[in-house]
Amino acid sequence: MIVIKGKSVFGGIAIGRISYLKKSREIVKRTIISDTRKELARFEAARQAAILQLEELYEQAAAKVGEANAMIIQIHQMMLEDLDYLEAVNNMIENQGVTAEYATSVTGDSFSLKFSSMEDEYMRERAADVLDISERVIKILRKEKQTAPSPKGPVIIASDDLAPSETIQLDKEMVLSFLTKYGSLNSHTAILARTMNIPAVIGLQDGLTEDWDGKTAVVDGFTGTVYLDPDEKTLEEMEEKKRREEEKKELLFSLKGKENITKDGKAIQLYANIGNSSDIGAVLENDAGGIGLFRSEFLYLEKSDYPTEEEQFSVYKYVAESLAGKKVIIRTLDIGADKQVPYFDLPKEENPALGYRAIRICLTRKELFKTQLRALYRASAFGNISIMFPMITSLKEVLEIKEVAAEVKAELKKAGIPYKENLELGIMLETPAAVLISDLLAQEVDFFSVGTNDLTQYTTAVDRQNPMLDKFYDPHHLSILRMLKLAADNAHKNGKWIGICGELAGDLSLTEAFLSIGIDELSVSPALILPLRQKVRESSVGPVNPDWFL
């Protein structure tokens, strides 16, 4: 028996035969041509053919995995319209006199390298996207057939990595689990695995080889462990663990449609955090009451230039309509710190976590801010949208935000464009400054949502991304619970509601404490909705326990 460990993407136990998807990327040789005009036409024809292929693929994928998960195909179509990408290919053909295949290959590699060297993990994962579309164009130029992986029977899919178009075409009924050498938690393989509730382990590196093809394996998605050719004892243990997990899953799914209410009658809203409109399927599948945090920055992170008002509006409208009246809280642009976007041309900072980020960018680049607000207000006419502003530290900021929002509403009204007049405006409590003046802030906004990740970082002065400080990073720090109690009291004194959208919201050991101090809403990853509902329904919440604050 061979045992290797990687990164867990989604929990669960899978037992079955491995099907290793072998892929070889052919090297495109540099070939000189004489007729550059003809070669430019060849590239353009191949590009248009690729767009048509992706349109057909989108329809197929939407039928298989739902429109939300199929949206990655639309993103690939947009990449084939990217002016920087197209200009790079055309310039190589014109200036170097090379074939369209070579120009496309080199451009794809160049853009992929640029993405993979970015600090933001989500942007690094876009390297796979640009390689995928480049490979598609090259195959069309070579008149090669596009083939999709088609495993025979339910198998554990293993690969060095899976291209986005390959992942989305897989028949989910034939996939027991995903295993990859590379990839990240933001890869499309990972996203699809979470959406489909399929056990998955990534980052297995050189421990995963093509020799595994056809062999029996056990995948423990909870621990990120893979057992190749498991011995009898391990197999029995894993089968028992799988049986227990399936029983637990059945119990959880029996909670669908049930109320989030404790034994002694305390109710709470359970919403989902998502980072992309492609996660909507998971929100609905896990019966979330709404979306408590929609991270709008993905619209900016995946583009090479500022998204237009129309591009943003179409996404916000799609999300609002997909939730069919359930609340959708969209956080405005939260760029900066660990989320860097090249075209924003942000200055290099020694301490970016305390620097030019989030609302500070929006209030100093107001046309950028107003573009997003116009898209959001327009989309509010199609669903139950609320807007949330990040990184607030002062009352002055909130008042300035409301002035900009009033300007946007006046412009829309003048243009005769419909929007929701009484749209909720809320703020994130992520800094000690905001919590300490939450009595004043509550008079100006409709709700609070506590970002416990940053609040813990700023309160305890511990960089949460520095692995050397892991032993000092304490999300259960007494100061955090005291701040949550203060913020909840101030919200309720002013007739406003308060939620938590940080990682702490999913900590089941604190659920009763949150309910006791008056937290009205918890927003977590979609997969945590049902376990959290079970915890709520099993709890009896009395008065506040003073020991929590000592």
Q: Report the alpha-carbon distance of residue 400 to residue 404 in Å, rounded.
A: 6
Q: Is 492 a catalytic residue?
A: no
331 marked among binding-site residues: yes
Contact between residue 384 and residue 320 where contact means Cβ atoms under 8 Å apart: yes
Dihedral angle of Cα 320, 326, 332, 336, to the nearest 10 degrees: -110
Collapse the DSSP code of 427 into the 3-class scheme (helix H, G, I; strand E, B; otherwise coil) and give the result.
strand
Three-class DSSP labels, 97-120: CECHHHHHHHHHHHHHHHHHCCCC
Which member of 76, 476, 477, 501 is catalytic? 501
Check the CA dihedral 443-424-428-481 and report its sign: positive
- Contact present, 391 and 401 (Cβ < 8 Å): no
Distance CA 213, CA 167 (A): 18
Q: Which residues contact 367 (CB under 8 A, 6 or more apart)?
A: none
- Nearest CA among 115, 110, 116, 202 for reference residue 161: 202
> What are the tokens at 136?
């598609």
Is 221 in a helix, a strand, or coil? coil
Distance of alpha carbon 187 from alpha carbon 164, whole angstroms:
8
Cα angle 529, 242, 512 (rounded to 5 degrees) comes to 30
As a whole number of angstroms, the distance between CA 313 and CA 74 comes to 15
The answer to the question of whether 430 is labelled as a binding residue is yes
Residue 188 is a catalytic residue? yes
Residue 142 in marked binding region: no
Q: Given 76, 188, 476, 477, which residue is catalytic? A: 188
Residue 124 labeled ligand binder: no
Query: Measured in Å, how far apart are the chain's first and last C-alpha atoms?
Result: 50
For residue 448, what are its two tokens?
């609070």
Q: How many CB atoms lie within 10 A of CB 32?
A: 9
d(CA 83, CA 394): 40
Instruction: Say what angle helices 188-196 and 36-65 make with each other, to 10 degrees.
Output: 20
| Burial of 464: CB neighbours in 10 Å, binned 0-12, 13-18, 19+ | middle
Is position 454 annotated in a ligand binding site? yes
Write down the H helix ranges in 151-225: 164-169, 188-196
Q: Which residues are annotated as a binding site for Mg(2+)?
A: 430, 454
The residues that are catalytic are 188, 501
Q: Which residues are annotated as a binding site?
A: 295, 331, 430, 453-454, 464
Q: Which residues are annotated as a binding site for phosphoenolpyruvate?
A: 295, 331, 453-454, 464
